[in-house]
A and B are shown apart, each in its own frame.
Chain A
Amino acid sequence: MPGSAQVLPKMYRTRMSTYWWLGRWPYLKFILRELSSVFVAWFVIMTLLQIDALRRGPADYMEFQEWLRNPVVIALNIISFFFVIFHAVTWFNLAPKAMAIRAGGKRVPAVLIAGPNYIAWVAISAAVAWLLLRG
């Protein structure tokens, strides 16, 4: 009895292109979402550097602020800001897919799972802004 490989005709297999992710918007969106984690990491590193500068004293902190005013750093931070927003929004929108919570015999609608995430995001951001900007 021959194995299936011997009776099946020759099949044609296409190799995926290295640039497969440029072919469809959902793929590109996925790659951008993955890439956004690099910018999230950049914000974390920058915050740690800022805290370190603060710890070292006023002179070092002034120097750090001067570095932040560099046009290259400003441009990088603007790009990072949009990527971090994209990261947060796509993450919150994906949360209801992974969480199939049931209540009263029915699945809880996606908006009730994503909604609290957005509310917490806005509330925490507002609290941080208030702490920093109250003068």
Chain B
Amino acid sequence: MADTITLEVTRYHPGRDKEPGLQTYGVPLRKEWVMLDALNYVKDRLDGSLTFRWSCRMGVCGSCGMMVNGEPKLTCATFLSDYAPGPVRVEPMNNLPNLRGLVVAPSDFLVKLTKSKPWLIRKEERPLAEGEYLQTPEQLDTYKQFSMCINCMLCYAACPVYGLDPLFSGPAAIALAQRYNMDSRDQGADERMDILSQHDGIWGCTFVGDCTEVCPKNVDPAGAIQQYKLTATREWVKSFLMPWQGK
């Protein structure tokens, strides 16, 4: 194995640069290093102005998502040696506006996430004296997969529908809505359905399925959206056949 590997990294300074460009750096190729280690090496030893976001180094915080050779990846879980002999290209996540260097703006995702109401909604809160809302392991198991989302936005970087139509709610926001819909303690499915059964919600999805492929936590947002579509269709048929039932 060669001693070094070349990184081609996106640089962009708003106000100074008209558009992003690539800069190359040679970094040691170590077997135990992930891409994030290599970026930190550049920042510490070669170029302190390199800009990227990271925090936990262990696939939990969801901060260090980037495009590695054109694929959305958590750089803390992407081994450098898999890209030997290089060069390997590191770019900011696709489909999201670039703030600076490798950093993208999460604001649009956060607005969409809030719209899908990813929290427990109760029509009427039970008095505290009655104790907590209990749940069986089977009830937990129905939504647990969707609850593993770490908001890393790799699914947004992978979704061409979101890239072409930024109004689309996107994979993670819908998967998290479904996570709460399937929670036995929640009663907010109707409220979420009103928002997510719009064209920009579930029906915007054309089932490319790449969101599920790139998800580092195996959340399967594509599955969540298709399941949501089935529920929405069932509800529509029900309201068509039995209009007197109402909400």
- Residues of A at the B interface (CB closer than 8 Å) are 4, 8-14, 16, 20-21, 23-24, 26-27, 30, 34, 94, 97-100, 102, 105-107
Contact = CB atoms under 8 A, between A and B. Distances in A.
A30 B208 contact: yes
Nearest to B91: A14
A26 B163 contact: no
Contacts of B141: 105-107
Interface in B137-183: 137-138, 141-142, 160, 163-164
A100 to B, nearest CB: 5
Given A24-B70, A94-B207, A100-B227, A12 B163 contact: no
A59 to B, nearest CB: 46
B210 A12 contact: no
A27 to B, nearest CB: 6
25 contacts: A4-B107, A8-B107, A9-B15, A9-B99, A9-B100, A10-B15, A11-B98, A11-B105, A12-B12, A12-B19, A16-B160, A23-B70, A30-B160, A30-B210, A94-B207, A94-B209, A97-B212, A97-B222, A97-B223, A97-B227, A98-B226, A98-B229, A99-B230, A105-B137, A106-B141
A16 B168 CA distance: 15
B97 interface: yes
A10 to B, nearest CB: 4
Interface string B213-245: 100000010110011011000000000000000
Contacts of A106: 138, 141
Contacts of B206: 30, 34
Contacts of B15: 9-10
Given A9-B100, A13-B97, A26 B14 contact: no
> Size band of the B side of the interface?
35 or more
Interface of B: 12, 14-15, 19-20, 70-71, 94-95, 97-100, 105, 107, 137-138, 141-142, 160, 163-164, 206-210, 212-213, 220, 222-223, 226-227, 229-230
B25 to A, nearest CB: 21
Contacts of A11: 14, 97-99, 105
B99 to A, nearest CB: 6
A107 B145 CA distance: 11
B94 A26 contact: no
B223 A27 contact: no
Contact of B208 (A8, A14, A26): A26
A21 B163 CA distance: 12
A70 to B, nearest CB: 35
Contacts of B227: 97-100
Contacts of B105: 8, 11
A98 B94 CA distance: 26
Given A4-B107, A12-B12, A14-B94, A26 B222 contact: no
Given A97-B223, A97-B226, A16 B12 contact: no
Nearest to A96: B223
Contacts of B230: 98-99
Contacts of B97: 11-13
Contacts of B107: 4, 8
Contact of A27 (B12, B98, B208): B208
Give the 10 A-B CB pairs with smallest separation, nearest first: A98-B226, A11-B97, A105-B138, A97-B223, A12-B98, A26-B210, A30-B208, A9-B14, A10-B14, A16-B163
Given A98-B229, A99-B230, A24 B164 contact: no
Nearest to A8: B105
Contacts of A4: 107
